[in-house]
Amino acid sequence: MDPFDQYIALVREYVDQRSSMGRPVRHWDARPDSRAVKHGERPRDSLVLKENTAVELGGPETASCWFTLWTGNTSLLSDGRTSLIGPDVPDGLQSRLPFGQVTLVASESLQEHSLIEIERALHTAERIPGYSVRRTGGKVWARVSHDAFDGGFSLQALGERVTQHLRTGLPGVDAAEILFVTSCEEDVRALETIGAQVRKLSHDLRRQRLVRAADGALECQSTLSCEECPDRPVCDDIRELISVRKKSTT
């Protein structure tokens, strides 16, 4: 069993529980005309200012969470599926919504250190005009501009784009699926209880990329520079801990 398989099962149970509580749950399978980011394409970063915002997802004034799961067992995923618990952006029910997002990827060739590659591909797929997203820790804050809202932006379309890009932009990926939650703060916080466990496991796995060189120094096997890598705080903490231990033994 892969390390995240049990958490995929927990996410499935979570969705079933929300449905039994009367929450609106929708599922969409990928359409043939789903638009992925083409190889070689350079998507534009989109900065949406407050005055240009039609809908805000997550952020400091409501609940939010996000995390990524991967498995080598493709049977655990519904390839290309986008699921949504709660209203979609075009429903226009609120200008601010709580926001949860879970990205699931299946591949026999992905390893623990591939998590960063998945998250980089996710960031690339989400770089579309009129949609601005910021992540810190397990929190997510996204804005949809008035132009994007008027143009029909939806989480359904965003999910199709993300899953399609993960399936075509990452070598060896066999299936991708995504879940969004916008129903209420209670539901997002319930999802976050799973996310907190996943992040702890992710950090533990990422620490395994650090290897000790012949001179005793730590080297990272990641292809990213430290300035680009979101795991730099984890690596810094490990180096500091080792430094303290060295001092205590001399």
Per-residue model confidence as pLDDT tens digits over 144-167: 999 999 999 999 999 999 999 999
| Mean pLDDT of the region 216-225 | 56
Q: Are residues 214 and 176 in the same domain?
A: no
233 and 119 Cβ atoms separated by less than 8 Å: no
Q: Are residues 125 and 235 in the same domain?
A: no
Q: What is the predicted pLDDT for the residue at 197?
A: 92
Longest dimension (CA), the chain: 66
Q: Are residues 141 and 243 in the same domain?
A: no
Question: For residue 200, what pLDDT band results from cuts at 50, 70 and 90?
Answer: confident
* pLDDT value at 69 more than 70: yes
Between 102 and 219, name the one with better pLDDT. Answer: 102
Beta strands 210-212; 175-181: pairing state: unpaired
| Ordered DSSP codes for 204-226 | HHHHTTEEE-TTS-EEE--SS-T
Q: What is the predicted pLDDT for the residue at 137?
A: 84
Question: For residue 93, what pLDDT band results from cuts at 50, 70 and 90?
Answer: confident
- Percent with pLDDT over 70 in the chain: 74
Dist. CA 202–CA 68, nearest whole Å: 9
Q: What is the predicted pLDDT for the residue at 212?
A: 47
The dihedral formed by the CA atoms of 6, 13, 67 and 179, expressed in degrees to the nearest 10: 130
Q: Are residues 89 and 132 in the same domain?
A: yes
Beta strands 175-181; 82-85: pairing state: parallel
Q: Are residues 124 and 244 in the same domain?
A: no
Dist. CA 187–CA 158, nearest whole Å: 21
- Which amino acid appears at position 43 of this protein? P
Q: What is the predicted pLDDT for the residue at 108?
A: 83
Q: Are residues 231 and 185 in the same domain?
A: no
Between 135 and 228, name the one with better pLDDT. Answer: 135
| All residues at 6 or more sequence positions from 138 whose CB lies less than 8 Å from its CB, including other chains | 65, 66, 67, 192, 195, 196, 199
What CATH number has the domain bearing residue 114?
3.30.1650.10
Phi/psi of residue 211, nearest 5 degrees: -125, 150
The dihedral formed by the CA atoms of 152, 130, 48 and 149, expressed in degrees to the nearest 10: -10
CA angle 181, 186, 191 (to 5 degrees): 50
| Ordered DSSP codes for 11-66 | HHHHHHHHHHTT--EEEEPPPTTPPPPPTT--PPP----GGGEEEEEESTTS-EEE
Q: Are residues 227 and 167 in the same domain?
A: no
For 185-197, how does the pLDDT look when each residue is reduced to its tens digit (9 = 90+)?
999 999 999 999 9
Q: Are residues 180 and 228 in the same domain?
A: no
For 132-144, how does the pLDDT look when each residue is reduced to its tens digit (9 = 90+)?
999 988 999 999 9
CA distances to 62, 90, 98, 154 from 151, rounded to whole Å, are: 26, 10, 22, 9
* pLDDT value at 206 more than 90: no
Q: Are residues 222 and 152 in the same domain?
A: no
Q: What is the domain count for the chain?
A: 2
For 37-58, how does the pLDDT look when each residue is reduced to its tens digit (9 = 90+)?
554 455 565 789 999 999 999 9
Q: Are residues 30 and 110 in the same domain?
A: yes
Q: Is the dihedral of CA 227, 230, 231, 233 positive or negative?
A: positive
Residue 226 structural domain: 210-248
Q: What is the predicted pLDDT for the residue at 39?
A: 46
When the pLDDT of each residue in the chain is averaged and rounded to a whole number, the result is: 83
Q: Are residues 27 and 139 in the same domain?
A: yes
Question: For residue 7, what pLDDT band results from cuts at 50, 70 and 90?
Answer: very high
Q: Are residues 152 and 34 in the same domain?
A: yes
* pLDDT value at 29 more than 80: yes
Is pTM beyond 0.85 here? no
